[in-house]
Amino acid sequence: MKRVLVTGGCGFIGRHVAQELVEHGYTVRVLDVLLEQVHGAEAISLPAGSELIKGDVRDPDAVAEAVSDVDAVIHLAAEVGVGQSMYEIARYVGTNDLGTATLLEALIKRPVERIVVASSMSIYGEGLYETPDGRRIDNARRRPDEIKSGQWDPLSAEGERLSPIPTDEEKQADLASIYALTKYAQERAVLIFGQAYGMDAVALRLFNVFGAGQALSNPYTGVLANFASRLANGKRPMIFEDGRQKRDFVHVLDVARAFRLALEQRQAAGHAINIGSGHAYPISEVARLLAEAMGQSGRSPEILGKARSGDIRNCFADISKARELLGFEPRHRLENALDEFVIWVRNTGAVDRGADMKRELEERGLVS
Q: Are 264 and 328 in contact (CB under 8 A)?
A: no
Q: Which of 137, 5, 24 is nearest to 64 (CA)?
A: 5
Dmax of the chain from CA atoms?
60
Distance CA 20, CA 7 (A): 15
Q: Which of 71, 74, 86, 2 is nearest to 31 (CA)?
A: 74
* Set 92, 124, 129, 179: catalytic member: 179
* Distances 183 to 110, 141, 239, 293, 308 between C-alpha atoms, Å: 24, 19, 25, 33, 19
Instruction: Reply yes or no on whether 179 is catalytic.
Output: yes
Half-sphere exposure at residue 127, Cβ-oriented, CA atoms within 13 angstroms? 24
Active site amino acids: 179
